[in-house]
Amino acid sequence: EAAVTQSPRSKVAVTGGKVTLSCHQTNNHDYMYWYRQDTGHGLRLIHYSYVADSTEKGDIPDGYKASRPSQENFSLILELASLSQTAVYFCASSDRQSNERLFFGHGTKLSVL
């Protein structure tokens, strides 16, 4: 089973502060993603990356930046956290042959106060 590890598991941030969420995968997958889940709703794609040192915008990129310094690591950065960014964030990975089967981490619960 693919392993995707997210840190921290939960975080409380202040409005206007900077937040960095980290993701590490040990499966040699090329593709990595950041999704956001709001209570009672499905997941929405924020940013994704197909190769190290390159990131792409997903469906809801505003207010977020991403960084992929290596194949294994993918970070999500909130430069100026806002109340509306309170959510659970999931990192996922997949390989080119998996036909879009995503392997998700356990998620990071972010509360912005």
Partner 1 sequence: QQKVQQSPESLSVPEGGMASLNCTSSDRNFQYFWWYRQHSGEGPKALMSIFSDGDKKEGRFTAHLNKASLHVSLHIRDSQPSDSALYFCAASGSTNTGKLTFGDGTVLTVKP
28 contributes a contact to partner 1 by CB under 8 A: no
Select the span of 20-28, 33-41, 61-69, 74-82 touching partner 1 (CB under 8 A). Answer: 33-41
Distances in Å between the Cα of 100 and the Cα atoms of 49, 84, 96 are 14, 29, 8
Site for partner 1 in 80-99 (CB under 8 A): 90, 92, 94, 96, 99
Site for partner 1 in 37-76 (CB under 8 A): 40-45, 48, 58-59
Residue at 50: amino acid letter: Y
Distances in Å between the Cα of 89 and the Cα atoms of 1, 81, 98, 110 are 21, 14, 22, 7
Beta carbons within 10 angstroms of residue 55's beta carbon: 21
Q: Judged by CB, which is closer to partner 1: 64, or 103?
A: 103
Kindly list the residues in this chain that would bind partner 1 in the complex (CB under 8 A). Answer: 4, 31, 33, 35, 40-45, 48, 58-59, 90, 92, 94, 96, 99-107
